[in-house]
A and B are shown apart, each in its own frame.
Chain A
Amino acid sequence: MTPQPRPAHKLVTDRELDHLPEGELEHRVTQIIALMKARRQRPAADESPRWQEEIIAKEIPMGASVLDLGCGDGFLLERLIRERNVRAQGVEIDPDQVYSCVDRGVPVIQADLSAGLLWCPDKAFDVVVLEETLQTLQNPRDVLEEMLRVGKRGIVSFPNFAHFRVVVDLVARGRMPVTPRLPFYWYESANIHLLTLRDLCDWAEGSGVRIVSGHVLVEGVPRELQPDDDLVAEEVLVVVERGGP
């Protein structure tokens, strides 16, 4: 992958934290407490573990070409082949998952995404999917760039690290969060680059990437992305494109 100049790391200083908008910290804490209380009174929500796939299946036009980065066992691509008649290609690093893809009839290349997609020409795919993979990558920003080089559109989903349940785990328990969406202890988690909804939006803005549409999972129920979803979104799915409106 072509090395790209990186902007100098911008440290968030104590001074900046001191200058948060008046009442911002208190406001957020109040919100979180209210969300926790509301949660206790609600019955346990449906986990809908594959909620993204419903949305992705709707987002992808019939007959499109789809590259799934970190395609796992090929479940999504098999469905897209069946329902959307797509030209599918998966990339997956784990050999056992690769065998599962072959069992499903999904074309898959066993490769490490960190090495880039040199083999793949520009705009070779209509859609490139990064489903729950971004936060596991060594170099997520490079892979996002590659995604938008080889694809006309990208679909990215990830667990939102600013979800109130996560924040409470960190703040009230003082420990790395272990939640239904992040079900791992720190020493065994594959999630090495956790990010939030706002982080993703910052990246898009800073990289000339347009968020075409967004969806979030709130209390186990998927819905369209709304402003200020960053505390309530357990997971985020965005459709992105290179360039302005």
Chain B
Amino acid sequence: MAPKDKENARNDGPEALDSVGWTSAHTRRLVSADAPIELELGGTVGPVDVEYETYGTLSSRKDNVVFVAHALSGDAHVAGWDRDTAKNGRVWRQRKPGWWDAIVGPGKAIDTNRYFVICPNVLGSCYGTTGPGSLDEKTGKPYGLDFPMVTVGDWVAMHGRLLDALGIARVHAVVGGSLGGQQALEMALAFPDRVERAVVLAASARLSAQGLAFNAVARYCILNDPNFASGNYYDRASGPDNGLAAARMLAHITYLSDEGMHQKFGRRLQTDDGKKAGFGIEFAVESYLDYQGRAFAERFDANAYLYITRAMDYYDAAARWGEGSLVDACRRVRARALVVSFDSDWLYPPGDCKDLALALAKTDRPVTYANVPSRYGHDSFLVETQKVGRLLRSFLAH
């Protein structure tokens, strides 16, 4: 190991002064088996267990809560190093810290010396919160596609239940990127009196037709994988890994930008033997996507991917709260809002994000909207940690 690598390893590990260190998730039953809840689209579910992580210390007045909402493939493990990988089997977490470790920690933009950070895994996901892979107590088998359809509204209702269970009346801020940003918006709409600040990164009030199209292809890949078995693959030797990997490959393309891909991979070949003879992995970009696809299939549940992408498709803040008018919907909001877009993002394009910010502004609320120049596409909200960190740190401080 080169001296520089050694240094980095030490600075980036759980012992680093600005890391939240070793983490352990909590699980809480928020809905009991004998009192299932009704969901937005008519189904019912119960019991519901929610896995969540917290960092920092809740103040005695419970007024320092920063609620983080995760995105499509995210989980409650926002920061630090999972202590329980041997127990929970999430071995990939041994290689890297939580998904927003650059932003959340002692002295970082979301400063855990100051704030009490909470992030739950969403209903229908596969990281400890009840979802299609959970055991259906009625049948003794995993739900599979018998799991009811869930929505962003249902997730946020569950966030409300979690806050209730923790005795937290109001949050200092709710923060999220992408599908997490839509949860932040929905939380400001559904619980106007519980949210003081809402930070919506790389997200708008609804997904565009192009975004719907990407999700449709992703689901097609999963649903048509021969191992999908109508979603009842949990007791089989293999699940729809190829379909899920293909879905993830497509998703990764939507997270990057043309320019970003050009800079990262160009037309570089993976091997330099010069042979152009087959359909294997030849270009660097192919290798990258192949790796991302396989790695994802190891850590994510295909059914959960179906449910969560559908929730993403259905979300439309204007339809849900304003009878089609985003401005009318935004009249509910009491929070101070920060909306951030990234100029190379084509999943939630800047124009759509700006429309949300301007709808909020139209209701006489003070609003901040920033369009960050970046070539990292939709991923920018995770990658542009300096700019995003500066915006978050300052916005949360005022």
Contacts and interface: CB of A to CB of B under 8 A. Distances in A.
Contacts of B391: 99, 102
Contact of A109 (B336, B357, B397): B357
Interface residues of B, number: 24
Contacts of B387: 99
A109 B358 contact: yes
Given A89-B361, A124-B364, A102 B354 contact: no
A76 interface: no
A87 to B, nearest CB: 7
Q: B-side binding surface: helix, strand, loop or mixed?
A: mixed
Contacts of A124: 364
B368 A120 contact: no
Contacts of B371: 95, 110
A119 B372 contact: no
A3 B357 CA distance: 25
A98 B367 contact: no
Interface residues of A, number: 22
Contacts of B366: 87-89, 107
Interface string B386-398: 0100110011011
A105 B394 contact: yes
Interface in A69-121: 87-89, 95, 98-99, 101-105, 107-111, 118-121
A98 B394 CA distance: 12
Contact of A107 (B358, B359, B368): B368
B376 to A, nearest CB: 15
A99 B373 CA distance: 12
B362 interface: yes
B331 to A, nearest CB: 12
Contact of A95 (B358, B367, B370, B397): B370
Contacts of A87: 364, 366
A110 B394 contact: no
A113 to B, nearest CB: 14
A238 to B, nearest CB: 26
B369 interface: yes
A109 B368 contact: yes
A79 B124 CA distance: 48
A207 to B, nearest CB: 26
Contact of A108 (B336, B359, B368): B368
Interface in B349-387: 354, 357-359, 361-362, 364, 366-373, 387
B362 A105 contact: no
Contacts of A121: 362
A119 B362 contact: yes
B390 A103 contact: yes
A88 B368 CA distance: 11
A101 B370 CA distance: 10
Given A95-B372, A99-B387, A109 B394 contact: no
A94 to B, nearest CB: 11
B398 A105 contact: yes
A102 B370 contact: yes
A99 B370 contact: yes
B63 to A, nearest CB: 18
A104 B359 CA distance: 23
Nearest to B390: A99
B370 A119 contact: no
Contacts of A103: 390, 394
Contact of A119 (B361, B394, B398): B361
Nearest to B338: A102
Contacts of A120: 361-362
Q: Tell which of B357, B361, B390, B394 has the most Cβ of chain A within 10 Å.
A: B361
A9 to B, nearest CB: 34
A109 B367 CA distance: 7
Contacts of B357: 109
B358 A119 contact: yes
B394 A107 contact: no
A110 B361 contact: no
A98 B366 CA distance: 14
Q: Tell which of A89, A95, A119, A121 has the most Cβ of chain B within 10 Å.
A: A119
A107 B335 CA distance: 12
Nearest to B364: A124
B398 A98 contact: no
A187 B394 CA distance: 36
A88 B357 CA distance: 15
Q: Tell which of B354, B369, B395 has the most Cβ of chain A within 10 Å.
A: B369
B383 to A, nearest CB: 16
A89 B397 contact: no
A89 B395 contact: no
Nearest to B365: A107
A66 to B, nearest CB: 11
A107 B372 contact: no
A115 B373 CA distance: 19
Contact of A110 (B362, B370, B398): B370
Nearest to A65: B364
B205 to A, nearest CB: 14
B354 A98 contact: no
A107 B371 CA distance: 14
26 contacts: A87-B364, A88-B366, A89-B366, A89-B367, A95-B370, A98-B368, A98-B370, A99-B370, A99-B390, A99-B391, A103-B390, A104-B398, A105-B397, A107-B336, A107-B366, A107-B367, A108-B368, A108-B369, A109-B357, A109-B368, A109-B369, A110-B370, A119-B359, A120-B361, A121-B362, A124-B364
Given A99-B394, A120-B362, 13 more contacts: A65-B364, A87-B366, A99-B390, A99-B391, A101-B368, A102-B370, A102-B390, A102-B391, A104-B394, A105-B394, A107-B336, A107-B367, A119-B361
Question: 10 smallest A-B Cβ distances: which pairs?
Answer: A105-B398, A107-B366, A119-B358, A103-B394, A102-B394, A109-B369, A98-B370, A107-B368, A110-B370, A119-B362
